[in-house]
């Protein structure tokens, strides 16, 4: 029962502002992607990491992996990504060799997820869940709105009870056959892999996520990520 991690890292990171592709921006002097790769490889259960690189950047990503110290017991593959996140994840899944029956999908944009969270997701899959997502309760109340096209006020449609909501993170963990079937069946664009499994009518479970698994999306997230790293290095 071997575990592989797929890391989609082919996004441009437009919301972060101008500059290099998001995964190649540095945190504490090290590219975000390397942090994310280490976060997966630091789990003793993970023996293969598949990095999905920008289609025109596979050589650059390969040399980046070669240039950094990574656990020796882990294998690494780099494959070209696609137009959207889902295409990139599918490219990563297609590259998995036989023998890996648990698959993690982890965003390069969550570089600081602690290894205990990774291990908890893997354990839940090995205990029999077909799809596992780490998630946290919300601080904010969430409203569903009718999105406005012109930036004007947006009518509120509903306010789901906050106590029942969770903000989901990655790595999400899957039984490999289930993940492959989800990606072969669901064609509309979704923002997380577990929702594709839900669409198959299969059970998805949530385990506790971690504050430090937040997604680096906007410039303020870079400030927070640097602060978390500085605290770890103390």
What's the closest the beta carbon of residue 212 comes to ligand C5P, in angstroms?
16
- DSSP assignment of 173-189 equals EEEHHHHHHHHHH--S-
Residue 84 near residue 156, CB atoms below 8 Å = no
- From 2-10, 58-66, 117-125, 139-147, span contacting ligand C5P (CB under 6 A): 2-10
Question: Residues 126 to 155: which contact ligand C5P by CB under 6 A?
Answer: none
Question: Applying CB under 6 A, which of residues 4, 9, 50, 213 lies at the interface with ligand C5P?
Answer: 9
**What are the DSSP calls for the chain, one per residue?**
-EEEEEEE-----GGG-SSS-GGGSEETTEEHHHHHHHHHHTSTTEEEEEEEE-TT-HHHHHHHHHHS---TT-EEEEEE--SSHHHHHHHHHHTPPTTEEEEEE--TT-TT--HHHHHHHHHHHHTT-SEEEEEEE-SS---EE---SSS----EEE---GGG-EEE-S-EEEEHHHHHHHHHH--S--S-HHHHHHHTT---EEEE--GGG----SHHHHHHHHHHHHHHH-
| Residues 14-53 as x/- pattern, contact with ligand C5P by CB under 6 A | --------xx----------------------------x-
From the list 4, 5, 6, 11, which residue makes contact with ligand C5P (rule: CB under 6 A)?
Answer: 11
Identify the residue among 3, 74, 88, 178 touching ligand C5P (CB under 6 A): 88
Smallest distance from ligand C5P to CB 7, Å: 7
Figure out which of the listed residues 58, 84, 166, 229 binds ligand C5P, where binding follows CB under 6 A.
84
Stretch that binds ligand C5P, among 4-12, 94-102, 171-179, 180-188 (CB under 6 A): 4-12
Contact characters 100-129, ligand C5P, x per CB under 6 A: -------xxx--------------------
Stretch that binds ligand C5P, among 7-15, 63-71, 176-184, 202-210 (CB under 6 A): 7-15
CA separation for the pair 108, 215 (Å, rounded): 9
Which structure tokens are listed for 158? 């509903």
Nearer to ligand C5P, 22 or 176 (CB): 22
In the complex, the smallest distance separating the C-beta of residue 52 from ligand C5P, rounded to whole angstroms, is 5
* 59 and 16 Cβ atoms separated by less than 8 Å: no
- The answer to whether residue 169 forms part of the interface with ligand C5P (CB under 6 A) is no
Residues in touch with ligand C5P (CB under 6 A): 8-11, 22-23, 52, 81-85, 88, 107-109, 217
């Amino acid at each position: 029962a071997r575990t592989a991690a797929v890391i989609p890292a082919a996004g441009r990171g437009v919301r972060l502002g101008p500059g290099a592709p998001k995964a190649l921006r540095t945190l504490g002097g090290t590219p975000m992607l390397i942090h994310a790769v280490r976060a997966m490889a630091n789990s003793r259960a993970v023996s293969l990491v598949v990095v999905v690189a920008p289609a025109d950047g596979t050589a650059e990503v390969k040399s980046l992996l070669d240039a950094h110290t990574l656990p020796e017991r882990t294998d690494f593959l780099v494959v070209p990504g696609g137009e959207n996140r889902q295409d990139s994840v599918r490219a990563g899944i297609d590259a998995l060799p036989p023998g890996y029956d648990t698959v993690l999908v982890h965003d390069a944009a969550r570089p600081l997820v602690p290894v205990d969270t990774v291990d908890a997701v893997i354990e839940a899959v090995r205990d029999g869940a077909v799809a596992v997502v780490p998630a946290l309760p919300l601080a904010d109340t969430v409203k569903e709105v009718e999105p406005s096209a012109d930036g004007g006020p947006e009518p509120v449609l509903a306010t789901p009870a906050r106590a029942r909501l969770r903000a989901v993170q990655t790595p999400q963990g899957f039984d490999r056959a289930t993940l492959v079937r989800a990606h072969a069946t669901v064609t509309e664009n979704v923002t997380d892999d577990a929702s594709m499994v839900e669409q198959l009518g299969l059970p998805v479970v949530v385990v506790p996520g971690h504050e430090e698994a937040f997604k680096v999306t906007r410039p303020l997230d870079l400030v927070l990520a640097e602060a978390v790293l500085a605290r770890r290095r103390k």
